[in-house]
Each structure stands twice: as structure tokens, then as C-alpha cells.
Amino acid sequence: APAHRRRTATSLRMTTTAAAAAAAEKHQPRFLHAVYRVADVQRSVDYYVRALGMRLLRERDMPQDRFKNAFVGYGDEREGYFSLELTENYGVKSYHLGDAFGHFGLATPNVHELVERARAAGAEVTREPGPVQGGRTVMAFIRDPDGFLFEILERPQRRARDPFCQVMLRVGDLQRAMQFYERALGMRAFRTHRNEAHHYTLGFVGYGESEQDGMVLELTENDGVSEYDHGDAYAQVALSTDDVYAAAERLRNAGANITREPGPLPGIGTKIVSARDPDGHKFVLVDWTDFLREFE
Ligand code: GSH
């Protein structure tokens, strides 16, 4: 969108202290939370607290709408910590996971330690700690009670405070996906990584200055696979924006499929816009000021 490009061009030219201060005040888009459905919110919260050391951040029960929600994570969402929004629909005992969503990545200085703690709390370790196939990073996989995977990654030098470091999504065409996240959602492409022996390529996109600064999307392209099954368990990632209307314009210009026009949600008034990427992964952009108001 032209308005956005003007802002970018201006910020690149800023040199004075005042301008720098103004730029620092400007809203920085960030990853807010991932939304998915689980059979039993209480069971999931207990698991994430005991096995993965998360905290219960907030919860609500909406009996009229027959669902309940809980948010878990490692710190205050208003201070930039990522969270998981778990949804339990009354009476729905299981969901279909599909394979379009991959996993959540958690960074830790010591994978063995975290995995042993999780195991002691009853976690299912589906891949024991050790170097990733074809690489050196020590990693492991843990599966939660609904089948969602958490990749535990050894990152001793990581700068960010939040252990949450990745949401992995599989895509049919990595280049198309990375361009989409840059153009439609203003992310930065950090790097790609080809694993020839295992026939896949990864691409990392996000909002910080570098991948070390916070959450990224890890986009995985498997050779010869152009489509994935989205299932009905994983729903979306929520991102913040300072203007849902400008964001919608930009999404539209980048060819996104807008699934909900920008505007306030009935009842709570929070302005959002939602869209799907070229692979069908859903995103919702949430007005940052409205989001903060939900905590009052
Ligand atoms: N075919 C894999 C998929 O779609 O999940 C490609 C992605 C992949 O293999 N990622 C690495 C992995 O899961 C982590 S970057 N490795 C498993 C292991 O090392 O055991």
C-alpha cells in the first residue's frame, strides 16, 4: 500500500534524534498468539505449566457460546511475550490435526534439562535430544495431549527473553510464501536453509531486526509437495497492527484472501482483519491499542 511505503521511506531517511525518538514510539508489529482447539483446556493448561514451565495468563468461559479459552505463555503479553490461546468447544472431544501446521519452537539453553523436566511431568518425547538430522543444533520434539508438537531448540546465545521462538508452517512454494509475508504482512526475510539430504528447504520470516530478537515463522517446503491438510485443530496466528484498515489494504494489494473485512468485533469492539496466505494458513491482525484495552 502506498501509505505504508511512504512511512518506510521516511523512516529510512531519519537521522535526527527527535525523528529517531518518534520512530521508536511508533508501533512495532509483533506476534501476539497462536490460536488452536483442544479437547480439554484444563488438561492442556496443566500440561503446559508442569511439562513446559508456562504460566496461565488469562482465561474465560463463555457458556452462552459453548466455549472456553485460556492463554498460556512465559510472560506478560503486553510486554511482548508470545502466548497460546487454547479453545475448548463444549462437547467436542477431538479434532483433526492435519499436516499444514508443523510445531511451536521453544528455545532453551539446555535441551536435555528441559526434556527431562518435561518427561518427569509425564510429557511424551517423540524425538530424543540430539543434533538435528544434517545439522548441529541440538533439538527434541515433545507432543502435547492433543498431538501438537513442540520443538525444543538449544539456543545458548539467544538474546530474546521469551522461549517461544518459532511457529512452523508447511508451504507448497517457499518463495511465494516468503514474498507474501514480506509484502502482505511487512515481515523481513531472515534466511533460507536447504537440507539436500532430507529434501526440504526452510525460510525464516519475522518482525525483529534479526531472528534472535523474537518470534519467527519457520516456513517449510518439502520437495514435491504442493498442498497440505489444514485439519480443524490449528486455527491461526494473531499479529498486532496499528491500523487494521491500512493492513487490509496492504493485504489486498499483495493478493491475500481476506476472510474477515477490517472492523470492530461485535461485543468487545477490538478491531481486527483476517486473511489467508497463498497456502491457506490463516492470520488475524489485531489493533494493538484495542488489544491492550482488553486487559483493563
Ligand atoms: N519433512 C520435514 C517436515 O515437513 O516436517 C521437513 C522439516 C524438517 O525435517 N525439519 C527438521 C526436523 O524436523 C527440523 S529443522 N528434523 C527432525 C530430526 O532432526 O529428527
Query: SS3 breakdown of the chain: % helix, strand, coil, rounded to 5?
Result: 25, 40, 35
Task: State the ipTM, two decimals.
Answer: 0.91
- The three three-digit cell numbers of residue 62, written as one number: 463463555
Q: For the residues 49-60, what does the mean pLDDT come to?
A: 97
What is the Cα–Cα distance from 243 to 186, expressed in whole angstroms? 13
Is any ligand 1 atom within 6 A of the Cβ of residue 102?
Answer: yes
Closest residue CA from atom 6 of ligand 1: 200
Q: For the residues 159-163, what does the mean pLDDT come to?
A: 94
pLDDT at 13 over 80: no
Closest residue CA from atom 13 of ligand 1: 132
Q: In whole angstroms, what separates CA 274 from the centre of its chain?
A: 14
What is the Cα–Cα distance from 296 to 293, expressed in whole angstroms? 5
Catalytic residue among 151, 211, 218, 221: 151
Contacts by residues 69-73 (CB-CB < 8 Å, ≥ 24 positions apart):
69/41, 70/41, 70/44, 70/45, 71/33, 72/44, 72/45, 72/48, 73/33, 73/162, 73/164
- Of ligand 1's listed atoms, the one at least distance from the Cα of 99 is 4
- The three three-digit cell numbers of residue 247, written as one number: 493492513
pLDDT, position 21: 55
Residues counted in the chain: 296
pLDDT at 75 over 60: yes
Q: In whole angstroms, what separates CA 211 from the centre of its chain?
A: 13
Half-sphere exposure of 113 (CA within 13 A, CB side): 8
Contacts by residues 258-261 (CB-CB < 8 Å, ≥ 24 positions apart):
260/284
pLDDT, position 224: 98
Q: For the residues 264-284, what does the mean pLDDT come to?
A: 96
pLDDT band of 22, cuts 50, 70, 90: low
Is any ligand 1 atom within 6 A of the Cβ of residue 220?
Answer: yes
pLDDT at 250 over 70: yes
Q: How far is the CA of 24 from the centre of ligand 1 (A)?
A: 37
pLDDT, position 26: 79
Q: Which residues are within 8 A (CB) of 117 and not within 5 positions of it... i.e. 6 or more apart?
A: 51, 53
- The three three-digit cell numbers of residue 81, written as one number: 511475550
pLDDT at 16 over 80: no
pLDDT, position 18: 56
More confident residue, 8 or 178: 178
What is the Cα–Cα distance from 127 to 145, expressed in whole angstroms? 16
- Assign 94 to helix, strand or coil: coil
Is any ligand 1 atom within 6 A of the Cβ of residue 198?
Answer: yes
Q: For the residues 84-98, what does the mean pLDDT come to?
A: 97
Q: How crowded is residue 117: how many other Cβ atoms within 10 Å of its Cβ?
A: 15
Q: Which domains does the chain have, with CATH numbers?
A: 27-293 (3.10.180.10)
